[in-house]
Amino acid sequence: MKILIWIAISALGAGSVAFSAFHKGETINALWLVVAGLCSFAVAYRFYSKWLITKVLVLDGQRATPAHTKQDGKDFVPTNKWVVFGHHFAAIAGPGPLVGPVLAAQFGYLPGMLWILIGATLGGGVHDAIVMFASIRRGGKSVGQMLKEEVNPLVGFVAMVSVLAIMTILLAVLGLVVVKALAESPWGLFTIAMTIPLAFIMGFGHTIFKVSVRNITIFGIVGLIVSVWAGSNLKEWGIEHFFDYKGETIAWSIMIYGFAASVLPVWMLLAPRDYLSTFMKIGTVAVLAVVVIWVAPELQMPKLTQFIDGTGLVFLGTVFPFVFITIACGAISGFHALISSGTTPKLLDREDQIRSVAYGAMITEMLVALMALVAACALQPGEYFAINAGAAKIVQTDPSQAAAVTQMITTAGFPVTVAGMDKLAADIGEKTMFGRVGGAPTFAVGMAQMFARAFGPGWMAFWYHFAIMFEALFILTTIDAGTRVGRFILQDFLGGIWKPLGNTRSLPANVFASAVLVAAWGFFLYQGVVDPLGGINTLWPLFGIANQLLAVIAFCLGTTILIKMGKARYLAVTVIPLLFLMSVTFAAGYIKLFDANPKMGFISATKFYAGKIAGGGTPTEMKEWAAQQFNFTVDTIVTAFFLLAVAIIFLGCLREWIKLLSGSKKIVLNEAPYVALPEGA
């Protein structure tokens, strides 16, 4: 009976994917994508993750984890499995699974759907699990530190420098997304601010006063629901102005919060807040999935659009390689390697929980990404492009251009009217929805429309602003964990310069490293907030490539570990995703560097603005052109550095693999000594 059930689930999933791929009608019901996602989730977790854990990694549930062997009450703390799952999921599920699929929807629903399902189950879950396994077996060490020990010091040094640089960019980008979501948004700011005292109460209640996880969870969920409800009533209560701030203030607040989350004991703020946020995240996405099943909306976006050729209105770039760069979280994301070798392995109580925490959280995020894709593709395509097209941003400052923008989109084959866009903005309580780029507003509109169909159209504005707040909550939990992980990596690096700085048990060392890291990403964040052409806005185009290059580094480590464990016969599980991501990231990097179109290639854009400066212009134009020339020069240098660094890491690892497999070098596996779990643990 079990065999028949699993054959039926597999056939249903495969059939749903096939129907979605070969369907020739103008629209397709979203249920096909939902069924494909749920069946992929079930089959991948039941069979592939089980095989990976029992045959490839061979986890030992009786082996003590770093949370036990290095327990210090601050960073290394044995923690309940579901609290760790909540922390890990909240940390990895940043803006990626919401924003990436929305932006990639310009290619149609099919490329994004296939990459999310295949990438997450065969790549992302493996990536997260093997890095977490390696870190747990090595005392909770970071990716760079492990490469230094398992390959050679040069590869490790290059990896640590690269990871720190990439992490600085990622955290600043995430911070800017949060600022945009919370600036002048009292409801969102209030709700997110309330999660902090709730987290403190939960942390002290469970750790100090030994309140059960069940009771502390009930308290947290009730408190979160009350916070969401109260946030929506601030205006009626006359206190809305207390939570209405400009971007600069929000940026400083995020920096202070990131510093606190990095320095304070993990049980006090970081873990309980991420655990609490997970209920909001998974709960909202679960309700959205139920609503999609109930409403059964038709996907208005075709399975493929003409923009697969690289002429997109949302962003330029052909479907290969840019759909794999645009959709990272939800499929494969290098940022996950930092969490899997950062905070999570220091909290995990038992080694055999890697399956549910690492692989399970990854494919849960897969479902989140699929829901975001459905939300975007359920919109009228004309409205989707009017919201996301970069050319539509001009309408925000010059409303008279609305007719020209709608005509441009209609001519491209996606009809839209100014009246229709005005009605959409009025329905959700916004001034305009033209040019609301970035993906987050689109997801919020799609989610609001489906919730309104299920619960009544009068709630459209409520659901839209709820979704915006929900997205900000998603992203902020990535910043706090990311900052703490960055502190660990920075201390690994600084410890090689002066040993006391590498001591994670030292409060002065922790404070110093946290302050340096927050200052680094905080500088780029603040400059990006006050200057639309400065700070992190300069490095924003590097976000996708940088993130996926991190995944390449992680797969290099995973492949090395498998060879040293004597598991060379299973190398396909890491080598195939590694080679695919190498081809994707290096192809995208080459295009971004050398494409002749100034709107695509960094070098050609630098020359383009140099030519404009040479031709002369007004003082304002000259200043702007000089800033753009500087930005593209920086992008060129940083992209070239990242590609060179990852090439060095890959070639260094390849050399090591050849030596190990040929027997010309003795295998030395640098695992921590075996320690059995204490009695009753």
Supply the angle between the helices 440-455 and 96-104 in degrees, to the nearest 10: 90
Distances, alpha carbon 256 to alpha carbons 223, 250, 262, 390, 410, in Å = 23, 10, 10, 32, 46
Say if residue 97 is preceded by a cis peptide, omega within 30 of 0.
Answer: no
pTM score, two decimals?
Answer: 0.91
Query: Sign (positive/negative) of CA torsion 551, 556, 560, 566?
Result: positive
Is the pLDDT at 657 greater than 80, yes or no?
yes
Dihedrals phi, psi of 331, to nearest 5 degrees: -130, -85
pLDDT confidence of 139, banded at 50, 70, 90?
very high
Contacts of 151 (CB under 8 A, 6+ apart): 560, 652, 653, 656
Q: b/e for 9-22, b at 16 or more Cβ within 10 A?
A: bbebbeebbeebee
DSSP for 221-278, written as a single string: HHHHHHHHHHHTTHHHHT-GGGG---HHHHHHHHHHHHHHHHHS-TTTTHHHHHHHHH
Q: Which residue has the tokens 């530190």?
A: 145
Is the pLDDT at 96 greater than 90, yes or no?
no
Dihedrals phi, psi of 300, to nearest 5 degrees: -80, -25
Residue 244: what pLDDT?
Answer: 87
The percentage of the chain sitting over the pLDDT mark of 70, rounded to a whole number, equals: 100
Closest residue by Cα to residue 44 from 359, 365, 372: 359
Closest residue by Cα to residue 92 from 468, 360, 375: 360
Lowest mean pLDDT segment, chosen from 135-139, 252-256, 370-374, 466-470: 466-470
Which structure tokens are listed for 407?
A: 């005509």
The per-residue pLDDT of the chain, averaged, comes to 90
Residue 213: what pLDDT?
Answer: 84
Residue 477: what pLDDT?
Answer: 77
Is the pLDDT at 680 greater than 70, yes or no?
no
Give the mean pLDDT of 282-286. 84
More confident residue, 154 or 474: 154
Which structure tokens are listed for 63?
A: 């082996």
- Put residue 616 in one of left, alpha, beta given phi > 0 → left and psi -120 to 50 → alpha: left
Give the mean pLDDT of 279-297. 87
What confidence tens digit (pLDDT) does each residue in 320-357 have?
A: 999 999 998 889 999 999 999 988 999 999 999 999 99
**3-state SS string for 354-420:** HHHHHHHHHHHHHHHHHHHHHHHHCCCHHHHHHHHCHHHHHHHHCHHHHHHHHHHHHHCCCCCCHHH
Residue 681: what pLDDT?
Answer: 62
* Cβ–Cβ under 8 Å, residues 235 and 217: no
Tally the C-alpha atoms within 13 A of residue 394's C-alpha that lie toward its C-beta: 9
What confidence tens digit (pLDDT) does each residue in 230-264 have?
A: 988 888 899 988 888 888 999 999 999 999 989 99
Closest residue by Cα to residue 583 from 551, 624, 558: 551
Is the pLDDT at 395 greater than 70, yes or no?
yes
What confidence tens digit (pLDDT) does each residue in 184-231 have?
A: 778 878 888 888 999 999 999 988 988 998 899 899 889 888 888 898
What confidence tens digit (pLDDT) does each residue in 355-393 have?
A: 999 999 999 999 999 999 999 999 999 999 999 888 888
CB atoms under 10 Å from CB of 614, counted, come to 8
What confidence tens digit (pLDDT) does each residue in 54-85 have?
A: 999 999 999 999 999 999 888 899 999 988 99
Alpha-carbon span 257 to 521, nearest angstrom: 13
What confidence tens digit (pLDDT) does each residue in 603-634 have?
A: 999 999 999 999 988 998 999 999 999 999 99
